[in-house]
Chain A
Amino acid sequence: MIPEIGHFALALALALALIQSVVPMLGASRGNILWMRSARASALGQLFFVTLAFAALMRSFVISDFSVRNVVENSHTLKPMLFKIAGTWGSHEGSLLLWVLILTIFGAGVSIFGTNIPHTFKARTLSVQAWISVGFLSFMLLTSNPFERVFPPALDGDGLNPLLQDVGLALHPPFLYFGYVGFSIVFSFAVAALIEGRIDAAWARWVRPWTLAAWMSLTAGIALGSWWAYYELGWGGWWFWDPVENVSFMPWLLGTALLHSAIVTEKRDAFKSWTILLAILTFSLSLLGTFVVRSGLLTSVHAFAVDPERGLYILMLLTLSIGGSLALFAWRAPMMEAGGLFKPISREAGLLVNNLILAAATGSVLFGTLYPLFLEAITGAKISVGPPFFNAAFIPMMLPLVFVMGLGPFLSWKRADLMGIIQRLKVVAGLAVLATLALWYVTRGGPVLAYLTILLAIWLFFTTLREWAMRIRLFEAPFAESMRRMRHLPRAAHGMTLAHAGVALAMFGFVGSSAFKAEEIVFVKPGAEIAIAGFDLTFEGVQQIRGPNYIADRGVLTVRRNGDFVTVLYPERRGYLVAQSQTTESAIRSTIVGNLFASIGTPAAEDAKDSGAWTLRILYQPLVNFIWFGAGLLILGGGLSLSDRRLRVGAPRRAKQQQRASPVPGE
């Protein structure tokens, strides 16, 4: 009965979305305030019904209702409760329901919190949001009903893919989707602005909190995903340039560009059509991600079950939404170009460089991701594009961006004083070069690119701190004065400092864990000694252990350093009975300095289990945790910026005064 209620709630949500996609839009063009206001009720109604449906599905998973096909295919009674709940979004249908739930959360969010947005514009935005709802609700009801029953009910389920039974991964999709789908509301704002034919500084301010929220969530989602790959997959890496990773990374890159270009629109009334285009493209890339993951278009390690019919439906949605919005853009955008002029050395120019580089980097990732498809279509050849391409195309493009990132905050609007900035930063630059040389002397060897990256990371870190110190006149004014200035600095400024410092820290992690890692793959019997990066490991043997729904071979490795006991590592190889598949549980000794990573493989081919020899992979990656630490700072910085006074409801006027009170950078 309850699954049917869920199904019915989805149908009701679709009906409300249909109403909301027409009535407020018409009301806005006719000046009918009641019709415009109806968007609030229908947006909240949609949220209510979709939440109901989601709760119904979750209940089916929690009580293991095996008369629902989706539960049979993705759950099992032996599964721990957390993963039963996570199973709700573990399948194509369930994750689509989560997708729609987040879509309606953002719609309802704007209708409740967007009190400073004019009625007509809000009505149009919510109507556009409802168009997306109609598309995805109908997609779900027509092709992917999560509440489909099976008769007779199954005795037990097929289980969730064991690889996915990890806390990191249980939480990864909700964050990722919150980011992906969060950009939908930015898209709706952009399309509504195109329909209305007006975009100004106020528009940028309305959009900013939603962009920030989506961007933070996407950052968290990507970071969790790479954390999962690192700790669960046992590959010893955190990023593989897999198509599915790329499609989540592209909206992040463009979303970052959007965050920065919207600042120019807000402060200087410039870059308008570019900002609108970025808003449209960011969500378009999110949709592209949804499409690629669910259509079987590209080959990937983590694609959903392939169904070309579904793929066709999503492609149709893509055509309507992306094609429609870009056509609207081509029609309306030429009418609204204007805005402040600026010199080649100015903050505008710096942010323009930021945008161009981020857009070009996104383009190169997109091209690399889709290239196998293009090539197969044209020549029939099948290839895959791997890390070498992306590393060669992406990293050299991003390094100049890091340089500009350090410089940018010192630039003032309209026209900046380059000589003054060079004066200020020559010490920082000198320090960065010295530190890099010292590091080179200590480590001896490693690729040039690695040292260049380190140089730029140090540069970014210290310029960011320098800029912050300058704003609060640290060491230049009495300490109390600095404290007072720090308190009065807009939170967005603190946010920027944290986020930029986070990028610098993450860069240390990228370089340390890839260019300076040490790796040993050995085929050994118990008693063997392995020396790596100053650690001495002794392979004590393998135990058989039994978990709740798996059995495992657990290797025991004693770690010593200079003869002193450090720790014992227990890498496991688990065999899941129900799903008949195996996973690797790597053992990691994690410190701030670096991670010692051990994983155990299947006994090598010649039936080595009898002879007692095992394949061990030992890896030492310096600084790898800085990646997630940096990602944490990015999220924290985004959060601080989100809590900035000027974005808060009902405080637009005070925000203006606040800005005037704070020191203008570069002065």
Chain B
Amino acid sequence: MVRFVMLVPLLIAVIVGGFFLWGLDPDRDPSSIPSVLIAQPAPEFALEPVDGVAVPGFSRADLIGNSGAVVVNVFASWCVPCRAEHAVLTSFVERDGIRLFGINYKDKPKDAAAWLKKMGNPYELIGSDISGRAGIEWGISGVPETFIVGADGTVLFRYVGAVVGKDAIARFSEALAQAGALNEGAS
């Protein structure tokens, strides 16, 4: 009996160690939270165009019946990381020929227009989400966030935070390739 009791600490340590071994799987990211939107149809929303920006507004209808997957980016002129991400998204549009739609989240149209004028506008459509209602529908936790939506309007991928830096760009490119959003001819 005493012998068995003395073995208990070792047994517990072995069991905990087994969990650790499992936890070290390099594909496991403990801070990523799966989005309930993944594999679900894109949420219902309809947004007016941004005043002073020359592209049309953006609604759920624009996400259905496209020829391939498209990218939806939530951005704002007051968001500092968006500024860094802007260059990355622009290069995806120019180099890889992705189709990029924007949701301008809780932003003043005047500021958004000035921001896009200064930085350039890679977006095909931009919806103005002043109330933040569309943001709630999309379940965003902050700005920026980026989604990949399939041709039938199904949400395929969600990226929280700015797609900036080698690792983030690699992950995002891979997701784009899997979704078939990259225009092979253009690269």
Task: List residues of chain A with CB under 8 Å of any chain B CB.
Answer: 273, 277, 280-281, 284, 291, 295-299, 308, 311-312, 315, 318-319, 322-323, 326-327, 329-330, 333-334, 337, 370, 372-374, 376-377, 382, 603, 605-607
Which of B15-23, B39-47, B48-56, B176-184 is the interface stretch? B15-23
Distance (whole angstroms) from the CB of B7 to the closest CB of chain A: 4
Instruction: Kindly list chain A residues whose C-beta atoms are within 8 Å of the C-beta of B21.
Output: 315
CA–CA, A308 to B25, complex, Å?
A: 7
| B23 & A377 in contact (Cβ 8 Å cutoff) | yes
B6 contacts which of A311, A323, A329 (Cβ < 8 Å)? A329
Known: A334-B6, A607-B78. 13 other contacts (CB 8 A): A280-B9, A315-B20, A318-B20, A330-B3, A330-B6, A330-B9, A370-B16, A370-B19, A377-B19, A377-B22, A603-B78, A605-B106, A606-B78
Q: Which residue of A lies closest to B21 (CB)?
A: A315
CB proximity of A92 to chain B, nearest CB, Å: 16
CB atoms of A311 and B24 under 8 A apart? yes
Q: How far is the CB of B108 from chain A (nearest CB, A)?
A: 6
- With beta carbons under 8 angstroms apart, the residue of A291, A323, A334, A374 that contacts B19 is A374
- How many angstroms between the C-alpha atoms of A315 and B19 in the bound complex? 11
B30–A296 CB distance below 8 A:
yes
| Cβ–Cβ contact A607 & B6, under 8 A | no
- Whether, in the assembled complex, B13 has its beta carbon less than 8 Å from a beta carbon of chain A, the answer is yes
Do A606 and B108 touch (CB < 8 A)? yes
When the two chains form the complex, which single residue of B13, B31, B77, B106 contacts A323, counting CB atoms closer than 8 Å?
Answer: B13
Shortest A33–chain B CB gap in Å is 33
**Is B26 engaged at the interface, CB distance under 8 Å to the other chain?**
yes
Q: Is the CB of B24 within 8 A of A334?
A: no
CB<8 Å pairs between A and B, sample of 12: A298-B30, A308-B24, A308-B25, A311-B24, A315-B21, A322-B17, A323-B14, A327-B10, A330-B6, A370-B16, A606-B106, A606-B108
Contact indicator A334/B3 (Cβ below 8 Å): yes
Known: A296-B30, A330-B7, A606-B108. A322 touches B13 (CB 8 A): yes
Bound-state CA distance A527–B72 (Å) is 42
Interface pair B6/A297, CB less than 8 Å apart:
no
- Cα A329 to Cα B6 in complex, Å, equals 7
Is B136 positioned at the interface, with any CB of A under 8 Å from its CB? no
Is B2 an interface residue when CB atoms closer than 8 A count as contact?
Answer: yes
B34 touches A382 (CB 8 A): yes
Expressed in whole angstroms, the minimum distance between the Cβ of A440 and any Cβ of chain B is 42
Among A298, A308, A337, find the residue whose CB has the most chain B CB atoms closer than 10 A. Answer: A308
Tell me whether A277 and B9 are in contact in the complex, defined as CB-CB below 8 angstroms, given that A334-B3, A382-B34, A605-B106 are known contacts. yes
Q: Which residues of B contact A333 (CB under 8 A)?
A: 6
Q: Which residue of B lies closest to A575 (CB)?
A: B80
The chain A residue with its CB closest to the CB of B84 is A580
Is residue B33 contacting chain A, with contact meaning CB distance below 8 A? yes
Interface flag for B152 (CB, 8 Å):
no
Q: Complex: how many Å from CA A273 to CA B9?
A: 12
Bound together, the chains give a CA A282 to CA B51 distance in angstroms of: 64
Is B111 part of the binding interface, using a Cβ–Cβ cutoff of 8 Å? yes
What's the least CB distance linking A614 to chain B, in Å? 14
Does the CB pair B17–A337 fall under 8 Å?
no
**Could you tell me the distance between the alpha carbons of A330 and B24 in the complex, rounded to whole angstroms?**
28
B30–A297 touching, CB < 8 Å: yes
> Chain B at the A interface: mostly helix, strand, loop or mixed?
helix
Within 8 A of A (CB), among B42-79: 76-78
Q: Are B9 and A297 in contact (CB under 8 A)?
A: no
On whether the beta carbons of A334 and B2 are closer than 8 Å, the reply is: yes
Mostly helix, strand, loop or mixed at chain A's interface? helix
Selected contact of A326 from candidates B10, B33, B77, CB within 8 Å = B10
B21 to chain A, nearest CB (A): 6
User: Which B residues lie within 8 Å of A373 (CB)?
Assistant: 19-20, 23, 30
Q: How far is the CB of B133 from chain A (nearest CB, A)?
A: 14
Question: 10 tightest CB-CB pairs across the interface, nearest first?
Answer: A326-B10, A299-B31, A308-B26, A299-B30, A330-B7, A330-B6, A297-B23, A311-B24, A333-B6, A334-B2
The 8 Å CB contact of A273, one of B6, B23, B106, is: B6
B residues near A284, Cβ cutoff 8 Å: 13
Name the A residues within 8 Å of B20 (CB-CB): 291, 295, 297, 315, 318, 373
A281 x B9 contact (CB < 8 A): yes
Chain A residues closer than 8 Å to B30, beta-carbon distance: 296-299, 372-373, 376, 382
Within the complex, what minimum Cβ distance (angstroms) separates B50 from chain A?
Answer: 14
Q: Report yes or no: B6 in contact with A315, Cβ–Cβ below 8 A.
A: no
Contacts of A605 in B (CB 8 A): 76, 78, 106
Contacts of B23 in A (CB 8 A): 295, 297, 373, 376-377
Shortest distance from the beta carbon of A550 to any chain B beta carbon, whole Å: 15
Task: Pick the most buried of A281, A291, A372, A606: most chain B CB atoms within 10 A of its CB.
Answer: A606
* Residues of chain A within 8 A of B13, CB atoms compared: 284, 322-323, 326
Contacts of B26 in A (CB 8 A): 308
CB distance from B63 to the nearest CB of A (A): 26
| Known contacts A281-B9, A373-B19; A607/B111 CB under 8 A | yes
CB-CB under 8 A from A295, the residues of chain B are 20, 23-24
Q: Which of B70-108 contact A (CB under 8 A)?
A: 76-78, 106-108
CA distance A277 to B7 in the complex (A): 11
Q: List, in ascending order, chain B residues with CB within 8 A of A370's CB.
A: 16, 19
Residues of B contacting A606 in the complex (Cβ-Cβ under 8 angstroms): 78, 106, 108
Shortest CB distance B143–A (Å): 9
Contact B2 A337 (CB under 8 A): yes
Residues of B within 8 A of A315 (CB): 17, 20-21, 24
Complex CA gap A311/B22 in Å reads 11
Residue of B nearest to A608 (CB): B78
Instruction: Report the bound CA distance from A23 to B64 in whole Å.
Output: 74
Contact call A382/B33, Cβ cutoff below 8 A: yes
| Cβ A329 vs Cβ B9 within 8 A | yes
Within the complex, what minimum Cβ distance (angstroms) separates A610 from chain B?
A: 9
Within the complex, the shortest CB–CB distance from A120 to chain B, in Å, comes to 24
Instruction: Give the docked Cα–Cα distance between A60 and B40 (Å).
Output: 53
Shortest CB–CB separation between residue A632 and chain B, in angstroms? 34
Alpha-carbon separation in the docked complex, A312 to B3 (Å): 31
- Bound state CA distance, A298 and B24, in angstroms? 10
Quick one: which of B2, B3, B24, B33 has the most chain A CB within 10 A? B24
CB < 8 Å neighbour of B9 from A291, A326, A607: A326
